[in-house]
Amino acid sequence: MIQSMTISEYAAYQREMGERVVESGGVYWRRVRPFFYRPLVPWQAVDPGAVKPPWPARFGAWQFVVTDGQLANSTMGFLVYTDADKYSPDALERAHRRQVRTAMKHFNVRPLERAEELMSAYEAYLDFQRRTRYQYRADRVCRESFDEWAESVFRHPKALVLGAFAREQMEAVAVCQRVGAVLIYASFFSRESASSLHIGSLMLHVVRTIAAESGNVRYVFAGMRKAGSQRRIDEFHLQRGCQIIVEPAWCELHPAAKIMLRLIVPGRLDQLFGKTWERQHIVPATATLAVCPAMVDTPKS
């Protein structure tokens, strides 16, 4: 069974991961970019009349899902596997079922129990970094930083860490956290050789199976919908039954920040206000994360 983190526990975890998380007005906020904030749990609906954004956001921007869609001036898109409790690999397309079966012949996926086990994935992470040039927490290419990260993850026992092994060698890692009824598929990396044998499909299958068997997970959250060339990253999930849930949101920008965006990266404004969504993969309006019982506690004001 996957233990659920409270919001405060999740905030503490994210801070250890290097995220800048602050509490303001009874909501935990994460700094997405300098002077731009969203709620730490991004689908958390907030009352616009009661919101108190962190003070740095008032010189930049903040955005949040609203409790009343009529008050929205933007949207936020989430990549979500809905009805997670009903997952069956039989629902996958034939090619993706074949990928899972192929990977099962080569890899054994199991939960990791100690930081030392995660540390043994360092070479796999280096291989992943050489291939993708992934920028988030790229400091982990340093062995010392990677080991510190592994220790930080295991200081939070409610995090789910999965390792994929071939002949006792770590080939891939996935890290998840559960917040209420949502399982967050937070990170994944693998060796290139494992990727060619469809370890990504197998790891996702294992995560979705764990969610389904837990009995208390309704959604698997795969991240925010991306724009531009980064949408390629989302296609892996969309091809395997992931949906886009679009929630009404409020976005507030400082006038100077709006002028700078319009002049420097005009497409970012359309992205921020949700004017770039395509209809494909968008689920009916009745499916919503905002009413999902994910708020287990609230910070003390």
Instruction: Tell me, yes or no, whether 234 lies in a domain.
Output: no
Number of domains into which the chain is organized: 2
The structure tokens listed for 66 are 């609203």
Residues 260 and 205 occupy one common structural domain: no
Residues 133 and 174 occupy one common structural domain: yes
Residues 212 and 89 occupy one common structural domain: yes
- Residue segments in the chain with a per-residue pLDDT below the cut of 70: 227-230, 266-267, 274-301
Instruction: Tell me, yes or no, whether 181 lies in a domain.
Output: yes
> Over the stretch 251-269, which tens digit does the pLDDT of each residue have?
998 877 777 777 777 667 7
What is the model's pLDDT at position 126? Answer: 95
In contact, 74 and 222? CB cutoff 8 Å: no
Residues 282 and 185 occupy one common structural domain: no
Residue 236, Cβ neighbours under 10 Å: how many? Answer: 14
Distance CA 158, CA 4 (A): 7
Instruction: Tell me, yes or no, whether 222 lies in a domain.
Output: no
Instruction: Tell me, yes or no, whether 39 lies in a domain.
Output: yes
Residues 93 and 70 occupy one common structural domain: no
Residues 66 and 103 occupy one common structural domain: no
Q: Tell me, what DSSP letter sits at residue 68?
A: S
Instruction: Tell me, yes or no, whether 285 lies in a domain.
Output: yes
The structure tokens listed for 62 are 């903040």
- Domain around 158: 84-217
Residues 92 and 210 occupy one common structural domain: yes
Rounded percentage of the chain residues whose pLDDT exceeds 90? 67
CATH number for the domain that contains residue 89: 3.40.630.30
